[in-house]
């Protein structure tokens, strides 16, 4: 049988802003889907990452639980404020309450820079923002990591966000702007984009630990930050989040058929040497309808290669990675009505049952 199927089946957060009114909770991880009579699953995190719009399919929390997954990540491609509005809404509160009742973990995965350093600070102090390739200061993306005021404002706003978007896992995700460049000023230009991201992350995790002593913060290895930092080292509390958006999904990582697959694996191994395997996470796209639809609606049916997925789990598991999630964006009520339920049970069952080879 061919293993490849088309399944049919408020405002910005500024310094001094008071945020609150959101129900949060914390409990022991690893409960969702566990059977006390069985050995604990190898993969501690088994999750999906969704946007607020995806919850128009109201069965998401129960479907995640039924698939023996542990975690729902809530994501927005541009603004954490959109997620705040969602979780403050009746629909969002319902989702959070369902997750609590079902024993599911909730995390927030964010391109957060416009909230960490609001763009209208540019009029007050342009030196906090990046220099582009033409030598001009611009508020179009990220910041200048050699600006002490920029780092401090970002850290304080990270605390403000964390007080509202509080993960149940103590794992925080405050990413840079989506695939956009960092600073090219005289002090920054010899640092890679991943190194500049890491300077900011080192600053943020120390601030977050003043709020949450167990806080961990992701370093996103993705697109322009895929290559590992070499001149900067992570402080305690940083973990690797590897998101190989530019790869093929019709063949496994280790198929040997495509040089890009090999380049991604080399980047993964190089990053693991810097960040270590403990707490490392793969953020994948196996279920990401938005990616396979080229981020354009109407959504296309999901091409899910069972063979590639199983092989990829061996690739990650053999390296000691124990946290696995996949985007599953665009799988909303409209998608399910047209194409049927996504292959969550297949995805979750394989993740739950996977064991290292002896």
Q: Which two tokens stand for residue 315?
A: 């690739």
**What digits encode the pLDDT tens for the residues 263-301?**
999 999 999 999 999 999 999 999 999 999 999 999 999
Does the CA dihedral 283-292-67-71 come out positive or negative?
positive
Query: What is the band of 357 on the pLDDT scale with cuts at 50, 70, 90?
Result: confident
Is the confidence at residue 155, as pLDDT, over 50? yes
Band (227; pLDDT cuts 50, 70, 90): very high
Specify the pLDDT at position 75: 97
Query: What's the pLDDT band for 36 if we cut at 50, 70, 90?
Result: very low
Whether the pLDDT of residue 6 is over 80: the answer is no
Alpha carbons 150 and 167: distance in angstroms, whole number:
25
pLDDT at 73: 98
Q: 3-state secondary structure string, 203-247? A: HHHHHHHHHCCCCEEEEEECHHHCCCCCCCCCCCCEEEEECCCCC
Is residue 212 scored above 70 in pLDDT?
yes
DSSP per position, 26-73: ---TT-TT--TTSPPPS-SEEEEEE-GGGGGSTTHHHHHHHTT--EEE
Evaluate if residue 17 carries a pLDDT over 70: no
Q: How far is CA 244 from CA 86, 109, 267, in A?
A: 28, 16, 9
CA 176 to chain centre: 11
Q: How confident is the model at residue 257 (pLDDT cuts 50, 70, 90)?
A: confident
- Compute the distance between CA of residue 138 and CA of residue 143 in angstroms, rounded to an integer: 9
Q: Residue range 44-51: average pLDDT? A: 98
Contact partners, residue 68, CB within 8 Å, separation at least 6: 32, 33, 41, 46, 348, 349, 351, 352
Question: pLDDT > 90: what percent of the chain?
Answer: 87
Res 77: pLDDT: 84
Tell whether the model's pLDDT for residue 11 goes beyond 50: no
Task: Kindly tell me if the per-residue pLDDT of 80 is higher than 70.
Answer: yes
pLDDT band, residue 79 (cuts 50/70/90): confident
| Confidence bin at 314 (pLDDT 50/70/90) | very high
Domains of the chain (ranges, CATH numbers): 4-353 (3.20.20.80)
Confidence of residue 256 (pLDDT cuts 50, 70, 90): confident
Alpha helical stretches, state H, the chain: 60-66, 80-88, 90-102, 113-116, 148-164, 193-211, 259-275, 289-292, 306-318, 333-339, 344-353
Binned at pLDDT 50, 70 and 90, residue 358 comes out as low
Over residues 108-115, mean pLDDT? 96
Average pLDDT, the chain: 90
For 254, the token pair is 């280790």
Give me 78's structure tokens: 């541009």
Q: Which residue has the higher pLDDT, 86 or 26?
A: 86
Residues 225/193, Cβ–Cβ less than 8 Å: yes
Q: What percent of the chain has pLDDT over 70?
A: 89
Within 10 A of 313 (CB to CB), how many other CB atoms are there?
Answer: 21
Mean per-residue pLDDT for 78-82? Answer: 88
DSSP secondary structure letter of residue 286: T
Residue 34 confidence (pLDDT) above 80: no
Distance CA 171, CA 237 (A): 9
């Amino acid at each position: 049988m061919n293993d490849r199927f088309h399944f049919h089946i408020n405002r910005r957060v500024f310094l001094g802003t008071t945020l609150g009114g959101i129900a949060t909770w914390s409990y022991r991880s690893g409960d969702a889907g566990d059977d006390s009579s069985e050995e604990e699953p190898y993969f501690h995190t088994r999750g999906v990452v969704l946007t607020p719009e995806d919850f128009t399919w109201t069965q998401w929390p129960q479907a995640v639980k039924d698939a023996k997954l542990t975690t729902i990540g809530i994501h927005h491609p541009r603004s954490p404020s959109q997620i705040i509005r969602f979780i403050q809404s009746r629909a969002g509160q319902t989702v959070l309450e369902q997750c609590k009742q079902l024993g599911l973990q909730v995390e927030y995965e964010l391109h957060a820079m416009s909230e960490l350093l609001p763009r209208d600070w540019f009029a007050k102090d342009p030196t906090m923002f990046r220099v582009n390739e033409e030598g001009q200061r611009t508020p179009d993306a990220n910041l200048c990591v050699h600006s002490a005021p920029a780092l401090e404002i970002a850290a304080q706003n990270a605390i403000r966000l964390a007080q509202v978007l509080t993960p149940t896992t103590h794992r925080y995700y405050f990413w840079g702007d989506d695939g956009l460049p960092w600073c090219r000023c005289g002090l920054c230009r010899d640092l890679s984009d991943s190194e500049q991201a890491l300077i900011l992350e080192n600053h943020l995790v120390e601030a977050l630990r003043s709020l949450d002593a167990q806080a961990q913060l992701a370093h996103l290895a993705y697109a322009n930050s895929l290559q590992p930092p070499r001149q900067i080292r992570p402080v305690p509390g940083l973990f690797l989040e590897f998101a190989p958006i530019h790869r093929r999904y019709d063949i496994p990582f280790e198929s040997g058929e495509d040089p890009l697959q090999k380049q991604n694996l080399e980047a993964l191994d190089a990053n693991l040497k810097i960040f270590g395997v403990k707490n490392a996470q793969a953020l994948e796209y196996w279920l990401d309808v938005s990616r396979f639809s080229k981020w354009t609606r109407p959504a296309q049916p999901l091409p899910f290669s069972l063979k590639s997925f199983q092989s990829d789990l061996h690739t990650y598991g053999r390296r000691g990675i124990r946290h696995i999630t996949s985007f599953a964006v665009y799988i909303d009520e409209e998608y399910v009505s047209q194409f049927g339920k996504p292959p969550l049970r297949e995805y979750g069952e394989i993740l739950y049952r996977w064991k290292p080879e002896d």
